[in-house]
Amino acid sequence: MLTQDITNSKMTVIDMKRFALTCIFILFSSGCSATKKESVWMNESNVRASQEEILAAKAACDFDKKQNYIESHASGMKDKKYKNNKEFEAELDKSFGMMKNLFSCMSKQGLTKRKVTVE
């Protein structure tokens, strides 16, 4: 198929589609088409925070306990039947507020979350 002469129109439309799909598949499988990113804690120097910095900030903010509570609250929202959109939006605002306060506390401890490219 690849050795056929395209200029002489010997390659059919189906062959061309297969060739294009093969090229796309190779690009996706080799990882050339997308960069991978991860969310990491950065310190005030804009450097990836050390494990000690993260643990100290999390302890000061009671991060894990509050994060678990937020996750259980969000999970409960999924299962709950709401009377109207206003009630749902109020619960959503409550979850958002808790999350905002948690990350604000971490920021006061000198840490922020950033997306960085994985190498």
pLDDT digits (tens, 9 = 90+) for 50-87: 999 999 999 999 999 998 888 887 777 777 777 777 88
Say if residue 3's pLDDT is above 60. Answer: no
More confident residue, 31 or 47: 47
Q: What is the dihedral of CA 29, 34, 40, 43, to 10 degrees?
A: 140
**What is the reported pLDDT for 1?**
46
* Segments forming the whole domain that contains residue 24: 1-34
Cα(34)–Cα(101) distance, integer angstroms = 33
Domain co-membership, 23 together with 55: no
Domain count, the chain: 2
Residue 22 has pLDDT above 60, yes or no: yes
**54 in the same domain as 16:** no
C-alpha distance from residue 55 to each of 64, 96, 101, 105 (Å): 10, 23, 18, 13
Q: What is the pLDDT of residue 91?
A: 80
Same domain as 94, residue 79: yes
pLDDT tier for residue 94 given thresholds of 50, 70 and 90: confident
Tokens (6 digits) for 9 = 């129109």
Q: What is the DSSP string of 101-114?
A: HHHHHHHHTT-EEE
**Residue (of 88, 85, 107) closest to 96 by Cα position:** 88
